[in-house]
């Protein structure tokens, strides 16, 4: 027998109370691990974007005002040695809808020569790049729409644009992108778009945004200043943002789910701390005499403190395990893939989230246990042992 | 026989710590719930205003929202064929041609850290007749001038929209539009917009086509019949009621709502278990007392009721604190939120306010949670066999 | 086998409750030789338990000196008192105060966790204690499966498992019927006669008092009188007769 054993047995004193507490602790922790998984996924996307060093240049007033494609050359002209930027890719919004559905894909027409450089995270092999450059109708598809509509490499697919002039174009899939960050995207060639538009009577090659692949974070910042300065006070006044800042505008507006998740995580921690604290206080109150006997036997006050604190931590960990593991298992078995809106493309549980949840529970156990432990420690032994009158 | 409320109150006070902690759990859950319900209420209010049954929105076929619809003028003109459209005093049909632009403005609530796409609507005088709930507060823009009026919610939530400010709208050449007045729309979606004179805006943005048209039908008109006429071979445009249009756009909000209520639901369940826990503890030490009361003559039903009253007191106090905390949060941290329409690419701004309906819902929730949680311990306590309880000295 | 003598001199103990001073012991003196079985009696509230607590180092006197064996208690800090107590004192209470979630054997083992010893050694000591109190067959029962008398035996076993010098018993038979009381008192007497433990027992019961060699009466905060019992009851007497 060890003190840990005594601790565990103490928790079994009142099984009903333990059961209720564990449930009241586990439910919020289930919410917590889901929310934290979300936040972790978000952080991952953020880190990825930061590493990609892409700078988005769009019209200052609004993204929907397209910029002349000639701006690309002027941006490139800022750095002829390519010391700060590696390449510039102009993109135009297509807003293609899958026929017979209401679903509009995040579909963009990109410059054929620089797309795979600026979007190096599409991981296109040299063969795939050749295919992209050889076929006018080439397109690169994210794994979410591919899964949803059953598209495979080599398929021909059609999208109907939801922006004027509402062209319906056919594409040939030369790559399906595997990674999570590009999961919801659909890219094709801007020269194909411009030709089609011209054929429909709209000869006006423009870009909604230019993505600049920078060589370093410092280069990104300096280019950001220089580009906006270059076009200030012109009809094509620009606003340059790094990818995370750009995305943040949408995140805020698309329901601010990250904000919701973060708020929920905080609420959970508060609630479980209260739940655990409540149970521990109730438990201590009932055991004043027993704890006094521990001291009478010769257990130091600090030891009694540790025992009570240990019970609180154990309680928290049990509740946490019961809440976190099933939720993690559920998310592992059924990850939410195919989120077509919002900042992340899917929700999977990550080990970081699970471990993080356990650590937080540990902290909550400690926090909730401190006051009961101090009360137990400060117990006046002789008062507590006073005979039942 | 019923016991005085002060008896129940005192019982709760005796177990100060348990009571306090339980009350706090309830308060937190209720506080979050109130926020969610207020937000949902704000969405509902906005959408309900945007559902004038006599209004139709006409778009280019294939467009999913006004933002990506390009309506050529000649096709627009065909709309005057429709008889069912209401007429103004001079007999002209109430058709409002409109063109949508966007402008990126800083959000006031995060100090301008992020920007929102705010809708700019080019309108003619017809708009004020068709959109019946729009009311000017102050000047209107002068016809042909580069002036705009700003919806109340937009002015409150986004930067640079005060009277006298110049907003950069449009494209190429001189673009500034001066804010000269505000308008309200009974809290509907148009209050998140900026309105200017259609020709001036078309000029500034080099556009030759409208985005959409809004029609006001006669009272006797059948909206579906008119929709058929618009989509039919003569006109070949898309039309839907204003209510349907906005319902489509609110898809994202519904998802957010679902997720948030799911989370709060789970937390409420946890709160119920917490209350059950506390109630068991509150009951445990009073076994004698209940037995005594039974011998005096109180029925087991009255003990049950008494315990329920105590649970309700806990829940009420917790609920009140939660509501108060939410109110403080909304005032101190901010009560505005904006969300994209599903396809509009512009943002709808919401003003989150607590109102009696919200508070009533919150109180109902925590009463349910309190009663639900306390039911089992209370029933157990009331059913105790008197004699054995008395013997447990 | 160890035992210690007890020397209490001029001890005052005043309680402070809500700004009111309640004097309980007022200049009390008491000497107990090592290996003596002393009974402490007196009216309710006379301070019997208080004296017991002072001798056990559970509380400190307001003034005066308390020596138990080689330890001068009033000079020791709480930490020191607690450590000393674990080695030298065994407490027995009226209400047994066993840990309900542990078995009898585990309850007895509890004080041993304070010392560095292997679990095998602990088990051996527990078994010895169980044998002495006569509960070998009930060792894995929980307190709620034991009768009052059995619970008190467990408590006694717990009190002796660390081989203390002094055993302090506060109304050990207060909750037991006559027969069981007798058994418990026999056991205490055995600990005194066979193992030489110094025992100080507080009691109301005159019959219990007859087990001690010496009875002291506590009244108005000091010892009023004292009786010597030439023939104390108990195991030794039973054997002798």
Higher pLDDT, residue B5 or A114: A114
Domain shared by A210 and A68, yes or no:
yes
CB contact under 8 A, A164 and B263: no
* Averaged pLDDT of chain B: 85
pLDDT at B393 (0 to 100): 44
Task: Say yes or no to pLDDT of B43 above 60.
Answer: yes
Residue B32 lies in a domain: yes
Cα angle for residues C50, C56, C61 (degrees, 5° grid):
50
pLDDT band for B120, please (50, 70, 90 cuts). very high
Domain shared by B213 and B331, yes or no:
no
Domain shared by B41 and B106, yes or no:
no
Domain shared by B322 and B193, yes or no:
no
Query: Could you report the per-residue pLDDT of A28-46, keeping only the tens digit for each?
Result: 999 898 888 888 888 888 8
- Contact residues, chain A, for B207 at CB < 8 Å: none
pLDDT at A389 (0 to 100): 34
- List of chain A residues with pLDDT < 50: 388-389
Query: Could you report the per-residue pLDDT of C146-169, keeping only the tens digit for each?
Result: 988 899 999 999 999 999 989 999
Domain shared by B155 and B215, yes or no:
yes
Domain shared by A41 and A65, yes or no:
no
Residue B98 lies in a domain: yes
**B183 vs B178: CA distance, rounded Å:** 15
On whether the CB atoms of residues B293 and B305 are closer than 8 A, the answer is no
Domain shared by A99 and A199, yes or no:
yes
Q: Residue C92: what are its φ and ψ, rounded to 5°?
A: -130, 130
- Contact residues, chain A, for B276 at CB < 8 Å: 20
Task: Say yes or no to pLDDT of B21 above 50.
Answer: yes
Query: Could you report the per-residue pLDDT of C31-64, keeping only the tens digit for each?
Result: 999 999 999 998 887 788 889 999 999 889 999 9
Residue A353 lies in a domain: yes
CB contact under 8 A, C91 and A387: no
CB contact under 8 A, C111 and A298: yes
Residue A319 lies in a domain: yes
Cβ neighbours of residue B27 closer than 8 Å, sequence gap 6 or more: B318, B319, B321, B322, B325
**B188 vs B111: CA distance, rounded Å:** 25
Domain shared by A188 and A78, yes or no:
yes
Domain shared by B42 and B77, yes or no:
no
Physical contact, C and A (3 or more Cβ pairs within 8 A)? yes
C93 touching A (Cβ < 8 Å): yes
On whether the CB atoms of residues A242 and A220 are closer than 8 A, the answer is yes
A234 touching B (Cβ < 8 Å): no
Domain shared by A207 and A296, yes or no:
no
What proportions of chain C, in percent to the nearest 5, are helix, strand and coil? 40, 25, 35
Of A331-340, A346-355, B111-120, B248-257, which range is least confident? Answer: A331-340
**C201 vs C168: CA distance, rounded Å:** 6
The pTM assigned to this predicted structure is 0.79
Map out the domains of chain C with their CATH numbers.
Answer: 6-240 (3.40.50.300)
**A385 vs C52: CA distance, rounded Å:** 12
3-class state of residue A155 by DSSP: coil
Query: Could you report the per-residue pLDDT of A205-232, keeping only the tens digit for each?
Result: 999 999 999 999 999 999 999 999 999 8
Domain shared by B271 and B374, yes or no:
yes
pLDDT band for C241, please (50, 70, 90 cuts). very low
Domain shared by B34 and B110, yes or no:
no
Residue A250 lies in a domain: no
Residue B82 lies in a domain: yes
Domain count, chain B: 2
Query: Could you report the per-residue pLDDT of C160-214, keeping only the tens digit for each?
Result: 999 998 999 999 988 888 888 888 999 999 888 888 899 999 998 888 888 888 9
- ipTM of the predicted structure? 0.84
**A29 vs B265: CA distance, rounded Å:** 14
Domain count, chain A: 2
On whether the CB atoms of residues A336 and A147 are closer than 8 A, the answer is no
Domain shared by A106 and A173, yes or no:
yes
Residue B228 lies in a domain: no
Could you tell me how many residues make up chain B? 393
Domain shared by B334 and B271, yes or no:
yes
Residue A241 lies in a domain: no
A300 touching C (Cβ < 8 Å): yes
**A160 vs A167: CA distance, rounded Å:** 6
Tell me which residue range forms the domain holding A289.
3-46+256-385
CB contact under 8 A, A10 and C170: no
CB contact under 8 A, B280 and A164: no
Domain shared by A216 and A284, yes or no:
no
Domain boundary residue, one of A207, A236, A265 = A236
Domain boundary residue, one of B220, B236, B263 = B220
Residue A166 lies in a domain: yes
Domain shared by B171 and B264, yes or no:
no
Tell me which residue range forms the domain holding B27.
5-48+251-391
Residue B113 lies in a domain: yes
Q: How far is CA A217 from the centre of its chain?
A: 22
**C194 vs C37: CA distance, rounded Å:** 12
Pick the residue of C57, C79, C110 with the most A CBs within 10 A to test the interface with A by mutation. C110
Task: Say yes or no to pLDDT of C237 above 80.
Answer: no
Domain shared by A355 and A273, yes or no:
yes
Percent of chain C with pLDDT over 90: 44
Domain shared by A215 and A357, yes or no:
no
- Contact residues, chain B, for A264 at CB < 8 Å: 32, 263
């Amino acid at each position: 027998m060890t003190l840990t054993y005594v601790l565990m047995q103490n928790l079994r004193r009142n099984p009903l109370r333990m059961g209720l507490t564990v449930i009241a602790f586990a439910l919020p922790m289930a919410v917590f691990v889901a929310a934290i998984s979300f936040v972790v996924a978000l952080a991952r996307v953020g880190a990825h974007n930061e590493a990609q060093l892409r700078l988005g240049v769009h019209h200052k007033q609004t993204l929907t005002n397209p910029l002349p494609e000639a701006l690309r050359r002027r941006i490139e002209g800022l750095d002829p040695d390519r010391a700060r930027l590696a390449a510039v890719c102009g993109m135009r919004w297509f807003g293609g809808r899958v026929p017979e559905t209401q679903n509009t894909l995040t579909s963009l027409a990109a410059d054929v020569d620089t797309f795979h450089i600026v979007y190096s995270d599409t991981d296109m092999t040299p063969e795939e790049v050749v295919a992209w450059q050889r076929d006018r109708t080439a397109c690169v598809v994210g794994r979410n729409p591919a899964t949803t509509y059953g598209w495979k490499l080599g398929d021909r697919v059609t999208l109907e644009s939801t922006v004027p002039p509402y062209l319906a174009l056919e594409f040939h899939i030369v790559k399906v992108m595997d990674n999570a960050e590009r999961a919801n995207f659909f890219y094709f060639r801007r020269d194909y778009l411009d030709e089609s538009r011209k054929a429909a009577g709209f000869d006006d090659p423009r870009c909604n945004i230019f993505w600049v692949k920078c060589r370093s974070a410092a280069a990104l910042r300096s280019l950001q200043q220089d580009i906006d300065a270059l076009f200030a006070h012109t009809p094509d006044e620009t606003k340059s943002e790094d990818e995370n800042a750009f995305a943040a505008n949408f995140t805020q507006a698309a329901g601010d789910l990250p904000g919701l998740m973060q708020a929920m995580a905080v609420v959970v921690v508060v609630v479980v701390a209260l739940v655990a604290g409540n149970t521990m206080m109730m438990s201590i109150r009932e055991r004043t005499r027993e704890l006094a006997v521990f001291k009478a036997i010769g257990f130091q006050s600090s030891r009694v403190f540790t025992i009570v604190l240990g019970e609180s931590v154990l309680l928290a960990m049990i509740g946490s395990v019961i809440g976190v593991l099933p939720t993690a298992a559920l998310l592992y078995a059924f990850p939410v893939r195919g989120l077509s809106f919002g900042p992340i493309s899917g929700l999977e549980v990550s080990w970081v989230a699970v471990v993080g949840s356990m650590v937080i529970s540990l902290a909550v156990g400690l926090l909730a246990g401190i006051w009961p432990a101090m009360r137990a420690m400060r117990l006046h032994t002789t008062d507590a042992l006073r005979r039942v009158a | 026989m019923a016991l005085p409320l002060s008896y129940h109150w005192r019982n709760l006070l005796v177990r100060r710590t348990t009571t306090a902690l339980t009350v706090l759990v309830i308060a937190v859950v209720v506080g979050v719930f109130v926020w969610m319900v207020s937000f949902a209420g704000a969405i509902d209010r906005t959408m309900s205003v945007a559902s004038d049954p006599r209004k139709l929105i006409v778009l280019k076929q294939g467009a999913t929202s006004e933002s990506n619809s390009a309506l050529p003028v000649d096709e627009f003109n065909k709309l005057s064929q429709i008889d069912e459209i209401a007429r103004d005093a001079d007999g002209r049909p109430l058709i409002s041609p409109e063109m949508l632009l966007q402008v990126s403005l800083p959000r006031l609530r995060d100090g301008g850290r992020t920007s929102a796409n705010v809708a700019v609507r080019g309108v003619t005088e017809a708009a004020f007749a068709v959109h019946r709930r729009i009311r000017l507060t102050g000047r209107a823009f002068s016809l042909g001038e580069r002036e705009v009026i700003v919806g109340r919610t937009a002015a409150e939530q986004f930067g640079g929209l005060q009277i006298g400010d110049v907003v950069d709208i449009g494209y190429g050449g001189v673009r500034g539009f001066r804010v000269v007045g505000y308008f309200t729309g009974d809290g509907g979606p148009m209050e998140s917009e900026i309105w200017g004179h259609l020709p001036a805006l078309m000029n500034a943005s080099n556009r030759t086509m409208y985005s959409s048209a809004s029609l006001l039908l006669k009272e006797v008109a059948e909206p579906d019949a008119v929709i058929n006429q618009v989509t039919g071979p003569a006109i070949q445009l898309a039309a839907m009621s204003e209510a349907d249009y906005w319902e489509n756009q609110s898809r994202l909000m519904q998802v957010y709502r679902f997720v948030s209520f799911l989370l709060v639901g789970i937390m409420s369940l946890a709160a119920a278990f917490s209350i059950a826990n506390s109630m068991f503890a509150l009951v445990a030490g009073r076994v004698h007392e209940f037995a005594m009361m039974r011998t005096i003559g109180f029925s087991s039903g009255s003990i049950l009721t008494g315990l329920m009253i105590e649970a309700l007191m806990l829940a009420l106090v917790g609920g009140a604190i939660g509501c108060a905390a939410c109110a403080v949060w909304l005032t101190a941290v901010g009560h505005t939120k904006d969300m994209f329409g599903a396809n509009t690419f512009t943002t709808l701004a919401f003003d989150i306010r607590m109102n009696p309906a919200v508070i009533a819902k919150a109180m109902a929730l925590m009463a349910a949670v309190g009663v639900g949680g306390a039911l089992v311990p209370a029933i157990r306590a009331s059913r105790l066999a008197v004699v054995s309880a008395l013997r447990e000295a | 086998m160890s035992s210690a003598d007890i020397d209490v001199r001029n001890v005052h103990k005043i309680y402070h409750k809500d700004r009111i001073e309640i004097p309980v012991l007022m200049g009390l003196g008491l000497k107990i030789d090592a290996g003596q079985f002393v009974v402490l009696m007196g009216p309710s509230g006379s301070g019997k338990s208080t004296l017991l607590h002072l001798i056990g180092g559970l509380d400190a006197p307001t003034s005066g000196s308390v020596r138990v064996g080689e330890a001068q208690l009033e000079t020791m800090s709480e930490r020191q008192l607690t450590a000393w107590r674990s080695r030298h004192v065994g407490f027995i209470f009226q209400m047994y105060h066993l840990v309900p979630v542990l078995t009898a054997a585990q309850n007895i083992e509890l004080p041993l966790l304070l010392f560095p010893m292997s679990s095998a050694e602990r088990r051996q000591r527990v078994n010895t204690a169980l044998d002495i109190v006569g509960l070998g067959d009930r060792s894995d029962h929980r307190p709620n499966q034991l009768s009052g008398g059995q619970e008190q035996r467990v408590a006694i076993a717990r009190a002796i498992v660390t081989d203390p010098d002094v055993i302090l018993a506060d109304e050990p038979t207060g909750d037991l019927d006559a027969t069981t009381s007798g058994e418990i008192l026999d056991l205490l007497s055995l600990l005194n006669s066979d193992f030489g433990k110094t025992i100080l027992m507080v009691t109301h019961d005159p019959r219990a008092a007859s087990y001690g060699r010496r009875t002291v009466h506590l009244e108005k905060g000091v010892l009023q009188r004292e009786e010597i019992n030439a023939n104390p009851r108990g195991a030794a007497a039973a054997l002798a007769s």
